[in-house]
């Protein structure tokens, strides 16, 4: 089978990470989520703690809800004052995703990967969602949250992910035209979604 990338975008609580792990295990390929931060740190020479801090800072910031700076593929050079800016940290993550796609098949969770790799014909762009009730139950079971904690986490994370996506891509996170497949995990189940994605990949890479 030729190389491919499964780029999963998901609403909080829909089970996207679990489905990503299922697919990575089935195809015996890597899954990249937070591991991408380490690779970007190694490539840039920027301390990984700065990537982790940027991830946390933007969740608390109104920046991504109020503006946008669409990614264009550029890397800010080390001599620039903006070398360690949040924008350049994103640039390095994007660079790693593009380079990995040239050498291996993999699954990536979030990180606006569907947009970064949009010109690569071997990318399968997936959007996963589920009902509010399903997502709340999933988060309660996964993290031992109370219902109130699950509701608050889902609200905050979906707001962050939508803003992060719009800031870096100029697109609406929930727009189905961005993706190849949009699946309701509450209707199909996590295993059902994984099977459907595998069938799609088999047909596309045939």
Domains and CATH numbers, the chain: 5-204 (3.40.50.300)
Give the model's pLDDT for residue 80. 66
Cβ-proximal residues to 64 (8 Å cutoff; 6+ apart), any chain: 58, 160, 163, 164, 166, 167
Give the model's pLDDT for residue 145. 96
CA distance 129 to 80: 40
Closest CA to 40 of 75, 81, 4: 75
Give the model's pLDDT for residue 65. 56
Q: What is the full per-residue pLDDT of the chain (206 aa) written as tens digits? A: 588 999 999 999 999 999 999 999 999 999 998 888 788 778 878 777 777 666 665 655 555 555 666 767 777 666 666 676 777 788 888 999 999 999 999 999 999 999 999 999 999 999 999 999 999 999 999 999 999 999 999 999 999 889 889 888 999 999 999 999 999 999 999 999 999 999 999 998 88
Give the model's pLDDT for residue 40. 78
Give the model's pLDDT for residue 39. 84
Q: Token pair of 106, please?
A: 């993999």
pTM of this structure: 0.88
Closest CA to 168 of 61, 82, 86: 86
Q: How buried is 84 (Cβ within 10 angstroms: 0-12 exposed, 13-18 middle, 19+ buried)? A: middle
Q: Token pair of 194, please?
A: 């994984």
CB burial string 154-171: b at 16+ within 10 A, e below = beebbebbbbbbbbbbeb
């Amino acid at each position: 089978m030729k190389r491919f990338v499964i780029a999963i975008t998901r609403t909080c609580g829909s089970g996207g990470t679990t489905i990503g792990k299922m697919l990575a295990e089935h195809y015996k390929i890597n899954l990249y989520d937070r591991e991408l931060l380490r690779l970007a740190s190694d490539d840039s020479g920027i301390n990984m703690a700065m990537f982790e801090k940027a991830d946390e800072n933007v969740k608390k910031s109104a920046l991504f809800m109020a503006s946008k700076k669409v990614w264009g593929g550029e890397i800010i050079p080390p001599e620039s004052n903006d070398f360690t800016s949040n924008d350049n940290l994103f640039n390095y993550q994007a660079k790693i995703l593009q380079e990995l796609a040239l050498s291996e098949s993999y699954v990536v969770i979030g990180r606006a990967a569907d947009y970064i790799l949009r010109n690569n014909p071997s990318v399968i762009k997936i959007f996963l969602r589920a009902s509010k009730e399903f997502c709340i139950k999933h988060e309660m079971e996964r993290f031992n949250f109370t219902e109130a904690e699950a509701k608050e986490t889902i609200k905050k994370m979906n707001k962050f992910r939508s803003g992060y996506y719009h800031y870096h891509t100029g697109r609406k996170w929930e727009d189905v035209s961005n993706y190849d497949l949009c699946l309701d995990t509450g209707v199909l189940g996590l295993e059902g979604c994984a099977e459907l994605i595998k069938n799609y990949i088999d047909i596309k890479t045939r």
